[in-house]
Amino acid sequence: MHTVVVGTQKGGSGKSTLATGLAVAAMEDGQRVGIIETDPQGTVSKWGRRRTNPEPRIARVSTPIEIERALLFLRRDGYTLAMIDTAPTDNALSVSAYNAADLCLIPARPSPADIEAALPTLDAIRKLDKPFAFVLNQSPARSFRLSEAAMALNAVGVLALPYIVQRNDHQDALGAGLGVTEFAPEGKAAEEIRGLWSWVLKKLTTESFNHEQTPIRAVS
């Protein structure tokens, strides 16, 4: 089982929307997915209660030992992917989540404030020697800031592709208890999330990362 953590200490970066969208895209790609939520706001849990589909399995946790237990149960029950949605703080619970990860995704909007706010999270992840990638999230469709932000993030680490553009489908899907690929399967937002999931899957199953990343083993 692979474990992907979506985390940054910056609030409003779209972590929960990204986690649910990727989880559903992975399910549609044949993965058995569980989401572990450490954020006390409970966005993912509320999303799950609006779903008619019982999958992905959602576990809400509040301590490091509960993260370990939730991962153990998912692995025991044959799940192939665990997504961990973290709180907007790099506390002991978030650090425990990063430590369990095969890949950490750090979402950031294309603004100097968001990029600066992501750096402490990057520092925490690097101290644990964990593979990571930035995700440009809630991006405008066209802006010179995209190129500037991409260059800034790529200079300090790996940048996942494609960028996730700010589109109404994401929030509408969250409100409906759906992944964006379920809500508007033919839409641009769905296309971008599927593309990002393909990127993540490739990174999870490759032998190594560039930018001095540590190897990720393929786990059945």
Distance of CA 8 to the CA centre of its chain: 10
Q: How far apart are CA 5 and CA 56, in angstroms?
A: 15
Which of 188, 200, 208, 217 is CA-nearest to residue 19? Answer: 200
Q: Are 118 and 89 in contact (CB under 8 A)?
A: no
pLDDT of 219: 31
Residue 49 has pLDDT above 50, yes or no: yes
Residue 41 has pLDDT above 50, yes or no: yes
Q: How far apart are CA 13 and CA 138, in angstroms?
A: 8
- Tell the CATH topology of 2-205: Rossmann fold (3.40.50)
User: pLDDT per residue over 102-147, tens digit each?
Assistant: 999 999 888 778 888 888 899 999 999 999 999 989 887 765 566 6
Token couple for 63:
């301590």
**189 vs 117 pLDDT, higher one:** 189
Q: How far apart are CA 185 and CA 194, in angstroms?
A: 10
Region label for 129, one of left (φ > 0), alpha (ψ between -120 and 50) or beta (otherwise): left
Residue 66 has pLDDT above 90, yes or no: yes
Q: Are 35 and 81 in contact (CB under 8 A)?
A: no
Q: How far apart are CA 38 and CA 213, in angstroms?
A: 25
Number of H helices, E strands in the chain: 9, 6
Residue 210 has pLDDT above 80, yes or no: no
